[in-house]
Structure 1
Amino acid sequence: MKSIEFHPGDYDSHGRLRLPFLFWCVLLLQARTWVLFVIAGASRDQGNTLLNLFYPDHDSFWLGLIPGVPAVLAFLLSGRRFAFPVLWHGFRGLLILAQSVLLCWQPVLWLMGEPVSGVGLALVVLDIIALIWLVTHRRLRACFAIEKE
């Protein structure tokens, strides 16, 4: 059922709230290691070079895939979110937790001896912004609420 709380353009043809565009950007940010993995796999010859450029330590790469799992699952489930409302409802908290882990990840790497770089600082800033957005955005919160019929 439509509410006057959101703009009419925020609803699809079935009267359900659409996921905000920034939600997809946050999913890409959270799944950044997965995106790199897919790009490296698609660029066969340069894939190993690409992975070594971003992840010289291969253990960091495999550990980096873990926080992106909720984002990948949310991406896959988003098209069927109305078929699995209870599962979808729990994903917001899981995405917030994953974003918190990613926010702490880079400073931990710095403490373990990795040099501070502009890319690392940019990722921390983007992680902070994404976490604040995930926690505070009303429309996103409404998209994860269980719909009463």
Structure 2
Amino acid sequence: MIHYSPENYDSKGQLKLPFLFWLILILQARTWIVLVIAGASRQQGETLLSLFYPDRQGFYPGLALGLVAVAAFLLSGYRQRMVRLWSAWRWVLVASSLLTFGWQLTQLDYSLLEQSPLPVILLIFDLLSAYWLVANRRLRDCFIPDSSTAE
């Protein structure tokens, strides 16, 4: 295992999760974030939802796929208690990114691309996030259980 500098560890002695990991979780949970913002802005909630999800066909699958990222947010605080679940969750996040990529690829409508390049940008970010979740060494080390805390 590679040894990291002391500032890369938290007060519990665990390797801190990289900043990009949190951005990927936000990317994967984007439908939940839109839902919370729409719920908080009561009068404009319907307008916000129709802005991000004009056909509503993608809203509920987006919520379902975002559950993995929401669970990762919650599990990150219990890394020492739920060691086996946490160590397997990285692969669940990778699978979720690839499922999101595949689902968005099937939903890609070329007439919408003339209006906005956002679907293609999100498609690329989902694929890049899956690659980063697999390839980043520091993130991989964050998901490896310590021998002292392993069950």
Asked if Structure 1 and Structure 2 have the same fold, meaning a TM-score greater than 0.5 normalized by the shorter chain, the answer is yes
- 1:75-107 residue CA offsets vs partner (Å, 9 max, x unmatched): 011111111101111111100000001112222
The whole-number CA distance in structure 2 between the counterparts of 1:33 and 1:120 is 14
Give 1:54 deviation, angstroms. Answer: 1.1
Which stretches in structure 1 are left out of the alignment for 5+ residues? none
The whole-number CA distance in structure 1 between the counterparts of 2:6 and 2:128 is 26
- 1:82-141 residue CA offsets vs partner (Å, 9 max, x unmatched): 111011111111000000011122221126x76223101111121122111101011111
- Judge conservation of contact 2:16–2:142 (CA < 8 Å) in 1: yes
1:96 and 2:94 aligned: yes
| Identity fraction in percent | 47
TM-score, scaled relative to structure 1 = 0.91
Q: Which residue of 1 aligns with 2:11?
A: 13
Task: Kindly provide the amino acid, as one letter, of the partner of residue 133 in structure 1.
Answer: W
Q: Count residues with an aligned counterpart.
A: 146
The whole-number CA distance in structure 1 between the counterparts of 2:2 and 2:60 is 45
Which stretches in structure 2 are left out of the alignment for 5+ residues? none
The whole-number CA distance in structure 1 between the counterparts of 2:94 and 2:56 is 26
Secondary structure of 1:45 counterpart = coil
Give 1:73 deviation, angstroms. Answer: 0.4
Task: Kindly provide the amino acid, as one letter, of the partner of residue 43 in structure 1.
Answer: S
Task: Kindly provide the amino acid, as one letter, of the partner of residue 112 in structure 2.
Answer: P
Summarize the alignment of residues 1-149 of structure 1 with structure 2, pairs less than 5 Å apart. Answer: 5-110=3-108, 115-116=112-113, 117-149=116-148
The whole-number CA distance in structure 1 between the counterparts of 2:2 and 2:41 is 47
The whole-number CA distance in structure 1 between the counterparts of 2:46 and 2:6 is 47
Give 1:23 deviation, angstroms. Answer: 0.6
Alignment RMSD? 1.6
Give the direction of change, closer, same or farther, for the CA distance of 1:128–1:4 in structure 2 (3 Å limit): closer
Runs of 4 or more off by more than 6 Å in structure 1?
A: none
TM-score, scaled relative to structure 2 = 0.90
Moved more, 130-139 or 9-18: 9-18
Give 1:8 deviation, angstroms. Answer: 2.2
